[in-house]
A = this chain, B = another copy of it.
Amino acid sequence: MDKIGLFGTGAVGRTIGTKMVELGYEVMMGSRTANNPKALDWAMNYNKAANGTFEDVAKWADIIFNCTKGEVALDVLRMAGLENLKGKIIIDISNPLDSSKGSPVPLIENYVNTNSLGEEIQRLVPEGLIVKSLNMVNCDVMVNPGTCGGEATMFVAGDNEDAKQKVTQILQQFGWKDIIDLGDMTGARGMEMILPLWLKTWGATKGYHFAFKIVRPNQH
């Protein structure tokens, strides 16, 4: 069974980590230091969970969920050691939101429209197998899509077909049934550029447990 790593100790990392433990995987949560209190607290709850530095995780795991903020995602990968990420599947959930700009929060200027954070990560780790997914829903919805109150659509994008296939299987274990493969990593642009609509929809509907569905004719 694949060994699962997490980059990030926030709500996204903890929620995905817990779900992966429940699914029977061994999981290691990574942070800057080996004694991060949030990571230690989380790992103590489960027999199959541990924690360590980003580097520890990168060396040990087969599949890594990148649950960091977009603003620090590239630095975290460098801390993990780019050579440790060769051949590893990295599921990139991060969003390049620029929190310095006030509301409405835009995306980071260098990673939008003609670029994306997903593509930037793939360039930084050319021998990593990056798959963009899950970034456009709240973490409760990520691991339990029924939380959104109906059947929604999840997307994947990335340059490696085997990696996308493996990630698709994990998404199916989470409960996603309608999964659209947007093709190569340039598909990450659209997946990240939906964030401004996500934020406005959150404001308008007063809830964040929604998800996007592609309603289409003759859907299997």
Contact = CB atoms under 8 A, between A and B. Distances in A.
A214 interface: yes
A207 interface: yes
Interface in A152-211: 152, 155, 157, 180-183, 186-187, 189-191, 193-201, 203-205, 207, 209-211
B200 A182 contact: yes
Given A104-B189, A190-B199, A182 B204 contact: yes
Contacts of A212: 212-215
Nearest to A116: B196
Interface stretch (A44-52, A53-61, A82-90, A142-150): A142-150
Interface stretch (A26-34, A68-76, A105-113): A105-113
A210 to B, nearest CB: 4
Contacts of A181: 204
Nearest to A148: B215
Given A112-B112, A113-B106, A209 B203 contact: no
A185 to B, nearest CB: 11
B186 A190 contact: no
A214 B205 contact: yes
Contacts of A107: 113
Nearest to A149: B217
Contact of A216 (B109, B113, B207): B207
A191 B207 CA distance: 19
Contacts of A109: 113-114
Given A104-B189, A112-B112, A113-B113, A149 B216 contact: yes
9 contacts: A149-B219, A150-B216, A157-B200, A182-B204, A193-B196, A193-B197, A209-B217, A210-B215, A212-B215
